[in-house]
């Protein structure tokens, strides 16, 4: 047994209280070396524990691999390990002293578009892998398109396997210029390019000595420093009410708190708010988190708000600024990603969930379907099959309080649920309101 | 105020997400419950529930699946906490389930009640008609969990189908289900072990004493120090004796290994976890059975 353990130097409390959080999406297929890259990030940031390393070392040996397959760390389910493919969204975690990272790791093949969309929905950064030998391929364009459709604010293009192209700057530059040409049509403005070799670790955590011509940041440095604070909307006040807190006790007989998570904007006590759908206005009396009284609430805080006046507010209602309201509408135009094997049917009734609200809806019109291979539009299309994306109009049974997705992810997104199976079958991003 | 003032650190973001999840469950389900093991993760869930619902009572009871092999310290802690909270506790007893034939004891040299917990829990779900259960599982614990949804759908047999999970987008959760089906909900999905410990330190949360360094009679089994007890006495030829140890997780006495550690405060533990070289579930004998052990147990209805 080991020698008597000692306590390591004290962990700096102030330091971890300053750590921020970055959610990132990785997209790519097995061949891109995506799993190897994630394994490398986990390994080099020491997020892999010894027993996990032992376990994958044993598995690698049993399969007759020459070296430890870092990809095994991220391939979670047994079927996937056997087939050597990643078939779902897997979440991975690592941290540096500056940031905690949540990786949504998704398969890159076209038949897994819905998984990528799922991972993209909460991501602040998309990590797109390109094999340096093949450059920008159809899959790259599809990944960039989905990242843009889901409005991931930052894209980081990792040009991988530089070791297989002799670390040639010309290869890197040509791929970058190719990518930029078509990325000009996308909505994401912050795109960074990094030449790496995930297998050997070049420019992943440690700077590569093989590519002196590259003077930019390593991937890890970029992940730690990319500016994410301004990605949120602090202007338009939106607070969907999730749950009304009403203590049944004499001590708090008059307390009526509205529990929810701030979607956008900054709320302060004294602020004038309008409650939707009633249209009644009041002022914020107090913002609380348990026994803490807060000066302000901003996204993505979960708080309880009390108002000066006793309005009749329930789950699904929304508090907003009276001078800048979301649109209360039953007619929505949106981009819709279809996620079910059973195709989308026009005129069929579905459930729609938006913020804390649920209604029923009918999809009236499919304006066009996007071919995710060519990114061309097909206006003749009459249905959406699994993994297909289209622009639709729908009508709901009761008003939803919506914004454009490009303005606010939380009030601009919705899901479609099948009434018979209760499955989530579609994900929508509101364009017009 | 400048934009930089409206920044939350990683713990505050995780906290806000967990509170949001808990309120969604309260609103979307008729009969939710919170699975309380007495371990640090379920204790953190209780704190988050206070943040989500106070000054009102929790809109759900706590449920403890009592294996009968618990550390006495855990049970004492549980009873004290429930008393302080003024919340309702339902105990589902594995002993009772075995006595009434619902569950079976695992025979063998290392007695484990892991399997017996499953029918006990499923029986409690049926009896109380729970339609949503909060669990403290985290995705960083194990590879099978890395793919599990926050709202994890279970069929009428309590089974999880990893290949057929509902897509889960943004912060919109779909809790729709048919009678007899239920959803397991994991508000701590995106937390790591270190996040949990940092949060316990930050919030000054009380935890059972066995997490802290103490002297205890232990016996070496499969390279790990196991606590001796009437369920697992040390044999004459065993390597056993008193050691200064603590526990990184709180499971049954029969399957939770101790680690040698002088960490006697939460700050010590945060420092130790930050520097740790062996993952937390490595100290759980139940997961070491096979590589796919957790996946198999989850499919059957384990937490």
Each residue's pLDDT tens digit, B155-214? 888 788 877 788 999 999 999 999 888 999 999 999 998 899 999 999 999 999 999 999
**Rounded alpha-carbon distances, angstroms, from residue B232 to B143, B201, B225, B226, B242:** 29, 33, 12, 8, 15
The highest-confidence range among A14-18, A127-131, A140-144, B58-62, by mean pLDDT, is B58-62
Q: Tell me the residues of chain A between 86 and 125 that have a Cβ less than 8 Å away from chain B.
A: 87-93, 95, 99-100, 102, 114-115, 117-118, 121-122
B199: alpha, beta or left? (left if phi > 0; alpha if psi -120 to 50): alpha
CB A385 within 8 A of CB A343: yes
Q: What is the ipTM of this complex?
A: 0.91
Residues B121 and A399: their CA atoms lie apart, in Å, by 41
Domain spans, chain B: 3-196+292-300, 207-287
CA distance A265 to A383: 37
Q: Which of A52, A422, A423 sits opposite B279 (nearest CB)?
A: A52
Q: CA–CA separation, A400 vs A430, rounded Å? A: 11
Helix (H, G, I), strand (E, B) or coil at B162: coil
Q: Where are the beta strands (DSSP E) in A236-326?
A: 238-240, 243-245, 257-261, 267-268, 272-276, 281-289, 292-294, 296-297, 302-307, 318-320
Distance of CA B249 to the CA centre of its chain: 9
A90/B295 Cα distance (integer angstroms): 14
Reduced to 3 states, what is the DSSP secondary structure of residue A75? coil
For residue B34, the cross-strand partners are B62, B134
Residue B157: per-residue pLDDT:
81
By C-alpha distance, the chain B residue nearest A246 is B56
Min Cα–Cα distance to chain B from A29, Å: 17
Chain segment A209-257, per-residue pLDDT in tens? 999 999 999 999 999 999 887 788 899 999 999 999 999 888 888 899 9
Higher confidence at residue B232 or residue B46?
A: B46
DSSP run (H or E) holding A349:
strand A349-354
Three-class secondary structure of residue A358 per DSSP:
strand
* Domains in chain A with CATH codes: 13-231 (3.40.50.300), 238-320 (2.40.30.10), 327-432 (2.40.30.10)
Q: Name the B residues in 124-143 with CB < 8 Å from any A CB.
A: 139-140, 143
Is the domain covering B3-196+292-300 a CATH 3.40.50.620 domain? yes
Nearest to A7 among B19, B271, B291 (CB): B271
In this predicted model, what pLDDT tens digit does every residue of A292-326 receive, in sequence order? 999 999 999 999 999 999 999 999 999 999 999 99
CA atoms of A61 and A58, how far apart (whole Å):
5
Which B residues 236-255 touch A at CB under 8 Å? 244
As a whole number of angstroms, the distance between CA A349 and CA A365 comes to 13
Whether A410 contacts B170, CB under 8 Å: yes
List the single range of A27-36, A376-385, B16-25 with lowest mean pLDDT: A27-36
- Of residues A186 and A149, which shows the higher confidence score? A149
Average confidence score pLDDT of chain B: 86
pLDDT at B118: 83
pLDDT at A77: 47
* Interface contact A213, partner B, CB < 8 A: no
B285 vs A134, higher pLDDT: A134
d(CA A417, nearest CA chain B) in Å: 8
The count of CB pairs under 8 A between chains A and B is 227
For residues A216 and A381, give the distance between their C-alpha atoms in angstroms, rounded to a whole number. Answer: 45
Q: Which of A5, A291, A302 sits opposite B262 (nearest CB)?
A: A5
- Chain B residues within 8 A of A43 when measuring between CB atoms: none
Q: List, as ranges, residues 315-334 from A with C-beta within 8 Å of B.
A: 315
Predicted pLDDT of residue B250: 83
Cβ contact, residue pair B166, A423, below 8 Å = yes
The alpha carbon of residue B244 is apart from the nearest alpha carbon of chain A, in Å, by 9
What residues in A contact B150, CB-CB < 8 Å?
A: none
Nearest CA-CA distance, residue B82 and chain A, Å? 18
Q: Let me know if A303 is exposed, middle or buried by CB neighbors in 10 A (0-12, 13-18, 19+).
A: buried
Torsion of CA A72, A75, A76, A81, to 10 degrees: -80
């Amino acid at each position: 047994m080991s020698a008597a353990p000692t306590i390591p130097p004290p962990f700096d409390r102030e330091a971890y209280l300053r750590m921020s959080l970055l959610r990132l999406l990785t997209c790519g297929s097995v061949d891109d070396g995506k799993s190897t890259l994630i394994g490398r990030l986990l390994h080099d940031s020491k997020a892999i524990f010894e027993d996990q390393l032992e376990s994958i070392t044993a598995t690698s040996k049993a399969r007759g691999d020459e070296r430890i397959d870092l990809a095994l760390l991220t391939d979670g389910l047994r079927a996937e390990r056997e087939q050597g493919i990643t078939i779902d969204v897997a979440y991975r975690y690592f941290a540096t002293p500056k940031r905690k990272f949540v990786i949504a790791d998704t398969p890159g093949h076209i038949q897994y578009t819905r998984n990528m969309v799922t991972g993209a929905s909460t991501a602040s950064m998309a990590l797109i892998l390109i094999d340096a030998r093949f450059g920008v391929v159809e899959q790259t364009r599809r990944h960039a398109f989905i990242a843009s459709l889901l409005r991931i604010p930052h894209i980081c293009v990792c040009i991988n396997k530089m070791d297989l192209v002799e670390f040639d700057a010309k290869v890197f530059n040509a791929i970058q210029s190719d990518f930029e040409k078509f990325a000009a049509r996308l909505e994401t403005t912050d795109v960074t390019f990094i030449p790496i070799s995930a297998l050997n670790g070049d420019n992943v955590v440690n700077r590569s000595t093989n590519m002196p011509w590259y003077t930019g940041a390593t991937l890890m440095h970029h992940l730690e420093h990319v500016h994410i604070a301004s990605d949120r909307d602090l202007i338009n006040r939106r607070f969907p009410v999730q749950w009304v807190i009403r203590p049944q006790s004499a001590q708090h007989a008059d307390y009526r708190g509205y529990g929810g998570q701030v979607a956008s904007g900054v709320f302060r006590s004294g602020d004038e708010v309008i409650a939707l759908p009633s249209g009644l206005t009041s002022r914020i009396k107090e913002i609380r988190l348990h026994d803490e009284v807060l000066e302000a609430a901003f996204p993505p805080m979960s708080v309880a708000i009390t108002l000066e006046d006793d309005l009749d507010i329930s789950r699904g209602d929304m508090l907003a600024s009276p001078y800048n309201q979301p649109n209360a509408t039953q007619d929505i135009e949106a981009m819709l990603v279809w996620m079910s094997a059973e195709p989308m049917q026009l005129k069929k009734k579905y459930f729609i969930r938006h913020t804390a609200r649920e209604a029923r809806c009918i999809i009236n019109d499919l304006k066009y379907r996007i071919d995710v291979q060519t990114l061309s539009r097909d206006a003749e299309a009459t249905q959406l099959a699994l993994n297909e994306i289209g622009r639709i109009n729908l009508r709901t049974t009761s008003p939803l309080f919506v914004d454009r997705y490009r303005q606010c992810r939380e009030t601009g997104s919705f899901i479609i649920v099948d009434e018979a199976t209760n499955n989530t079958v579609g994900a929508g991003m509101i364009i017009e309101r | 105020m400048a934009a930089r003032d409206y920044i939350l650190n990683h713990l505050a973001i995780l906290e806000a997400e967990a509170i949001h999840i808990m309120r969604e469950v309260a609103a979307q389900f008729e009969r939710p419950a919170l699975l309380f093991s007495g371990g640090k993760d379920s204790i953190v869930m209780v704190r988050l529930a206070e943040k989500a619902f106070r000054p009102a009572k929790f809109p759900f009871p706590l449920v403890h699946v009592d294996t009968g092999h618990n550390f006495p310290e855990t049970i004492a802690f549980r009873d004290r906490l429930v008393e302080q909270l003024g919340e309702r506790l339902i105990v589902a007893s594995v002993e009772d389930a075995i006595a009434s034939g619902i569950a079976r004891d695992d025979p063998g040299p290392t007695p484990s009640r892991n399997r017996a917990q499953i029918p006990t829990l499923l029986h409690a779900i049926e009896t109380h008609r729970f339609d949503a259960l909060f669990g403290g599982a985290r995705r960083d614990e194990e590879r099978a969990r890395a793919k599990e949804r926050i709202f994890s759908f279970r069929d009428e047999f309590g089974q999880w189908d990893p290949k057929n999970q509902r897509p889960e987008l943004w912060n919109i959760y779909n809790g729709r289900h048919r009678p007899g089906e239920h959803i397991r909900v994991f508000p701590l999905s995106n937390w790591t072990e270190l996040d949990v410990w940092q949060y316990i330190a930050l919030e000054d949360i009380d935890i059972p004493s066995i997490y802290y360094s103490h002297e205890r009679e232990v016996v070496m089994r499969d390279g790990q120090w196991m606590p001796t007890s009437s369920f697992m006495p040390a044999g004459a030829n065993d390597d056993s004796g008193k050691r200064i140890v603590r526990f990184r997780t709180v499971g049954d006495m029969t399957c939770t290994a101790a680690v040698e550690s002088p960490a006697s405060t939460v700050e010590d533990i945060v420092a130790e976890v930050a520097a740790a070289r062996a993952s937390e579930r490595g100290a759980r004998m139940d997961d070491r059975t096979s590589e796919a052990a957790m996946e198999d147990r989850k499919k059957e209805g384990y937490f």
